[in-house]
Chains A and B, each alone.
Chain A
Amino acid sequence: MRTWLLNLDPITKGIWLLSTGLAAIVTLNLSWQSAWFGAVLAIGLSGADWSLGRWGKTLLWLLGFGLPLFLFQWLVLPGETPWLRAGGLVLTAEAYRDSLTLTLRAMTLFLSSLLYASTTAPRDVVVALSHHMRLPDRFAFAVAIALRFVPLLTEEAARIRHAQRMRQLAPPRGLGERLGIARRYGVTVAANALRHVQEVATAMEVKRFGAVATRTHWRRLRFAPAGIGVAAASVVAAAATCLFG
C-alpha cells in the first residue's frame, strides 16, 4: 500500500516544500529551527515509505555533512561568551547556538528536498505545470523532456567515461594531462548529447506538437484532503515562523 506522502499531488506537496524552505531560511531561532527539522523528519518517517537502508544512508549523509559544518561554523562564527578553551582557541556560546541553528537549517532544506523528489512522479508534475498552473505547453514539455534526458545523459556519460578510460593505457599524470582528459570527456559528452536534440525535435514536430491551441490531458491530478490540509498547515506554520520565529 502507498503511504500518504506518495498519494499527495505535486502542487500541495510543492506548497509544503516551499513553506518549509521559507520558514527554515527566515528563522534564526534555534527552537523554531529544531521544530521544523523535527516536523520534516516526522513527515518523512510516517509518509515517505523509505526502507531502513535508505534512511540509514540519508541519516549518514546528514551527519556526514552536518557535523563538520557545525564544527567549522562554531570556529568561525563570532561570539562573546567564552564556553570552551583549547590552547589559543576560544569557542563561544553564541557561536555554538548560531552554528547549530544554521546546520539544522541546511539539514531541513536537504531532507525536505529529498522527500519531495523521491515521492513525486515527474509525469504528475508536467500535468500540474501545464494543466493546473497554466504554464505554456512548451515549457511544461521541456521539463518533461529534461526529466527524460537525466537518466539517458547519466548512462551515456558513464559509457563515455569507461570507453575513454579503457583507451588510456597508463593512468594520467600531472594536472595538464588530467585537464586534457576532462576537456575531451566534456566535449564528447556534450556533442553526443546534442545529437539527441534534432531527433527529439523532429519526432515532436512529426507528432504535431503545439499545432493545436488547447491540449487535452489523459492524466488527472487528484487533490486529496490530506494534501490540502498539509499545504494549509505548512503555510500557517511558515507565516507564524516569519512573524514570531
Chain B
Amino acid sequence: MQHRPAERFSLRSLTLSEWVLMALLAAANGVLTSGLSWVNKLLHSMGGPMLTSSLVGLYMIYGLLAMYIIRKPGAALMTYALGACIQILVGTAYGAWSAIAAAACYAIVIEPIFYLFHYRHYNWGAMLFVGTAAVPLWFVVSAFMFGYIQYESWVLIVTLLIRCLSGMLLCGALTKVIGDRLAPTRAVRPFALGRDYREHQG
C-alpha cells in the first residue's frame, strides 16, 4: 500500500528526525553556498547575471531534496526557512535580504505544486517540472534586487533561459539522482522515501 502523507501543514506533523534532517540539509546548503558564493561572485564579475545563472539550480536543491525524502506538507518551506537563517549566520555574499527572498520565492512555488500533486508524484517529469518552475519568481525578484532590470532585454531573456535550464538539471534532475541513490540506504529508512522504496520493492 502506498504511504499517504497528511496533506495539511502543521509543525507537529513533522517528526523530530525530520526536523534534524531538514537542519542537516540546511547546513549542507550553508556549506555549499558559502563555498559557491565566491565562485558565483567571480562568475558574476566576469559574465554578469548570465554566467552566474548557470549555478542557480545548486542553490535550490536542498529544499527540493527535503521534500523528496520527507514527502510531507511544509518540508520544503521549513527547510528553505532554516537555510535562509543559516546563510545569514554564516555570511552570504549577496546579503540577508537575498537569502530571505530567495528562500521565500522557492518555497512559495514548490509547496503549492506538491500540494497539487497530493505529495505523491516524484517521478522524473514531476521533478524536472518543479526544478524549472521554481526559477522564474526568484528571477523576477532578483532582477529588481540586484539591478539586472537595468540590463538590455536580450540579456534578461538569455539569463532566464539559463536559469530555467540550471533549475531543471542542477535542482530537479540532481535531486532525483541523489534521492534515488539514497533510497536503498539505511539512512533514509525512517523517512517516506525509504518506506516507499521498501514498499515498491515488495
Contacts and interface: CB of A to CB of B under 8 A. Distances in A.
B11 interface: yes
Contact of A195 (B28, B187, B190): B187
A44 interface: no
Q: Which of B22, B78, B147, B185 has the most CB of A within 10 A?
A: B147
Given A150-B27, A153-B27, A117 B89 contact: yes
B189 to A, nearest CB: 9
B6 interface: no
A72 B31 contact: no
A219 interface: no
A141 to B, nearest CB: 8
A146 B97 contact: no
Interface string A1-24: 000000000000010011001101
A114 interface: yes
Given A76-B151, A147-B27, A193-B24, A65 B42 contact: yes
Interface string B9-35: 001001111011111101110110000
Greatest chain A CB density within 10 A among B82, B91, B145, B182 is at B91
A105 B54 CA distance: 22
Interface of chain B, main secondary structure: helix
Contacts of B44: 65, 69, 106
A18 B23 contact: no
Interface residues of B, number: 55
Contacts of A102: 146-147, 150
A110 B27 CA distance: 20
Contacts of B28: 149, 153, 190, 193
A167 to B, nearest CB: 19
* Residue of A102, A108, A125, A201 with highest tally of chain B CB at under 10 A: A201
A198 interface: yes
Interface stretch (B45-53, B105-113, B126-134): B45-53
A113 B96 contact: yes
A186 B16 CA distance: 25
Interface string B36-64: 00100110111110000000000000000
Contacts of A191: 182, 185, 187
Contacts of A139: 11, 78, 81-82
Given A76-B48, A122-B89, A142 B19 contact: yes
Contacts of A195: 187
B173 to A, nearest CB: 12
A114 B92 CA distance: 7
A84 to B, nearest CB: 19
Contacts of B94: 106, 109-110, 113
Interface string A55-99: 000000100111111001100111000000000000000000010
Nearest to B46: A68
Interface string B79-99: 001100110111111111110
B98 A109 contact: yes
Nearest to B185: A191
Contacts of B188: 194
A72 to B, nearest CB: 5
Interface string B159-191: 000000000000000000110011001011010
Contacts of A17: 88, 96
Contacts of A114: 91
A202 to B, nearest CB: 8
Nearest to B94: A109
Given A106-B94, A196-B20, A201-B16, 9 more contacts: A21-B95, A66-B45, A110-B41, A136-B11, A138-B19, A143-B85, A146-B24, A194-B24, A195-B187
